[in-house]
Structures are given as C-alpha cells and as structure tokens.
C-alpha cells in the first residue's frame, strides 16, 4: 500500500500497458480507453447529462488502473476496491470512486447511481464484444471467460436503469466499434449472433416464474433488439403467460402465423410485396375489411403499450382481436385461385401476425388435450 501510494493513478494506469487483456484483444491499457468511451455513451443512454457522462468516461478510464498496483497483484480480490481508495486519496470525484469500487458487483449499485451503473454495463459489454467477436462463446458447461455471468449482470443491471434505455443492441454496437477504432479485428456478425444466444440462455435460467413454452414463445417471436432488451423480454413473458391461459385464444392467434409460414415455405411469397397496397377493397371480404380495420386501429396502440410495459392493457388488446380473426376465418377462404385477392388476404394475416408477435409466437404454446 505504501509503495502504491508513491504513484499516481496515471502511473498505475501506465503500468497496464504491459498487461494483456487477451492475446487477440489488445492490452489492458487499450481496454481502458475503450471503457472510457463506452461508459460515457452508456451514461447518456441512461439519461445522463454531459457532466455525469463525463464522470462515467473518467471512471471508465481508471477502472482497471489498479491492476497495475502492487496491492492488487498480492490480493486480486481487492480489484476495484483498491482503485477506489487510491482515487479518493487523489481527490477524484465521489461518483467516480464509488463506480470503481462496485464495478464488479451489481448488487452494490443503487437505482440512480448512473456513473457506477454505466461503468458496470460498459465493462460487461466490452468483455462480451471482444470474446464473442473472436468466437469464444460458451459451450455446454464450459464458460472459461465468464460470459454467461457477464450477460446475467447486464440483465440484472437493466432493472436499475431509471429510464427505459432501449436495451443493449445499440450499446453493444458501440462496444464493437471500440475495438474497430483500435484496429483490433473482431467479427461483428459472429459477436451479435453469440450475444443473442447467450441472452436467450440466461432468460431460460433467470425467468423462473414462467413456463418453458411461454419463454420459448417469447424468444422465438422476437428480433434481436427485443431479445437484447431485458425489460421488453420480461414484459412479453408476462403478457404471454396471461394469454396462454386461454386455449381458444392461443388457437385463434396461431392460425394467422401458421398460414403465413406455410405459404412462404411453399414459395407463395408474393404477398410480402403488397405492403401499402393492402386495402379493404382488395380483400373482397367484409370480414377481412373488419379485421384490417381492427388491426390498423390497434397496431400503433400496441406499440405504445409495449413501450410503456402496460401488461394488462396489452393483454386486453390482443383478446379484442379474437372475434375479428375468427370471423374472418369462418367466412373467408385465404388460398383462393385469384392471385391478387390471395396476396391481399395473406398480407392481412401477415400484418395481423406481426401485431400478435409483439406478445410472442403463439405456435410455441403447449395446449393440453
């Protein structure tokens, strides 16, 4: 401790230039520059102003400086704690010191501590981007780099955000960009693919209050931006768990999804080009027109409810589609010979399915009997 105190935090930071983070991912010193940049970006995503974002940037820069200190080399469990003490003795801002102290432990961060939260998130994102980008994804029971734990920390950390920051997809892109700026080669596509897979696995392990088929429906029916947004994933799991109680509704909601999927598999995919040309007149069906009206009326509202995480209102909105969907199928044949009419009707089912998929893939729900 006495020897360490003879050096400044900048001196300790300089020591990390001789330390390798990972042989393909540069030095610990390079990582510090990435964390500085990324922590500031994360802080802004969490709603911080320039002043707080600046503190997060500073915390990122010095986060790993104590790895160059003698005390940490003797007692590695003190990583972060030592850096926090040395930073405080040097007169750094309390927010920076607190962030250094709890960068490895999400349970020590309280809601509203944006600097600490931003550093913790940046640390895990940088780690995941690097290792996954060089194809070091966990496999089976093997996870030597603790990447599942990193994803777990990110999922836990999202619950501490004071505002809806939109999940991790865009922030992960920033993490990947940090490596590119240092001319460190990682595969962006491989990294994103593995990240989604790791998050999927973590949801299966962490969202214990939901059945396997509900989680499968939520994961199957989501794109990467939803899967990398823990708040969105848990919202959809809650919605789907309530909707899954009605076997009749599940069967109704599954029909549009199955018919669209079957048409695409058989090569009847020209309906995908209908787009804005979908019209009540083109459907040649009063019930089809009624369903189109209901979907158009509810689509924007569904997006709003999903954004505000209004579970019960979203559940009610989906239930209100039950009658127009059933009426359409009771009276209207979809796969008619007239290609234009067929494409209109398939396009209607596609947009209906898109709305339903905001909750999840109903075809994954198990119906007893």
Q: What is the mean pLDDT of the chain?
A: 95
Phi, psi of 229 (to 5 degrees): -120, 95
Q: Are 117 and 98 in contact (CB under 8 A)?
A: no
Record the pTM: 0.91
**Alpha-carbon distance values, 188 to 185, 196, 284 (Å):** 9, 12, 46
The predicted pLDDT at position 221 comes to: 76
Q: Kindly state the helix (H) or strand (E) to which residue 22 belongs, with its residue range.
A: strand 20-22
Average pLDDT by stretches of 10, the chain with 369 residues:
92 96 97 98 96 98 95 92 95 97 94 95 98 96 95 95 84 98 97 97 93 94 91 95 95 96 93 92 96 96 93 97 97 95 97 96 87
CA–CA separation, 327 and 56 (whole Å): 56
The pLDDT tens digits of the residues spanning 108-163 come to: 998 889 999 999 999 999 999 999 999 999 998 899 999 999 999 999 999 898 66
The pLDDT tens digits of the residues spanning 173-208 come to: 999 999 999 999 999 999 999 999 999 999 999 998
């Amino acid at each position: 401790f006495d020897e360490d105190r003879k050096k400044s935090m900048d001196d300790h930071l300089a020591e990390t230039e001789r330390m390798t983070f990972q042989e393909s991912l540069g030095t610990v010193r390079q990582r510090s520059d990435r964390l500085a940049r990324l922590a500031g970006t994360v802080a802004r995503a969490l709603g911080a102003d320039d002043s707080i974002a600046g503190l997060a940037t500073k915390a990122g820069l010095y986060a790993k400086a104590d790895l160059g200190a003698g005390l940490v080399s003797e007692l590695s469990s003190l990583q972060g704690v030592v850096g926090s003490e040395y930073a405080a003795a040097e007169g750094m801002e309390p927010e920076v010191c607190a962030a250094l102290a709890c960068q490895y432990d999400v349970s020590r961060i309280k809601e509203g501590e944006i600097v600490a939260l931003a550093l913790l998130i940046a640390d895990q994102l940088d780690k995941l981007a690097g290792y996954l980008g060089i194809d070091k994804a966990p496999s089976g029971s093997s996870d030597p780099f603790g990447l599942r734990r990193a994803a777990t920390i990110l999922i836990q950390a999202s619950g501490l955000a004071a505002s809806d920051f939109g999940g991790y997809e865009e922030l992960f892109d920033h993490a990947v960009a940090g490596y590119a700026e240092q001319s460190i080669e990682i595969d962006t596509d491989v990294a994103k693919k593995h990240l989604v897979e790791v998050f999927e696995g973590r949801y299966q392990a962490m969202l214990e209050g939901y059945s396997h088929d509900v989680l499968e429906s939520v994961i199957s029916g989501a794109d990467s931006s939803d899967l990398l947004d823990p708040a969105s994933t848990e919202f959809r799991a809650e919605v789907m768990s309530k909707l899954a109680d009605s076997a009749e509704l599940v069967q109704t909601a599954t029909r549009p999804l199955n018919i669209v999927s079957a048409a695409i598999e058989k090569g009847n995919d020209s309906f995908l080009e209908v787009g804005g040309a979908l019209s009540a007149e083109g459907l040649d069906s009063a019930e089809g027109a009624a369903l189109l009206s209901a979907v158009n009326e509810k689509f924007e509202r569904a997006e709003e409810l999903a954004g505000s995480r209004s579970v019960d209102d979203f559940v009610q909105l989906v239930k209100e589609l039950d009658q127009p969907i059933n009426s359409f199928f009771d009276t209207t044949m979809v796969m008619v010979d007239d290609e234009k009419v067929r494409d209109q009707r398939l396009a209607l089912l596609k947009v209906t399915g898109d709305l339903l998929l905001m909750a999840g893939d109903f075809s994954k729900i198990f119906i007893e009997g």
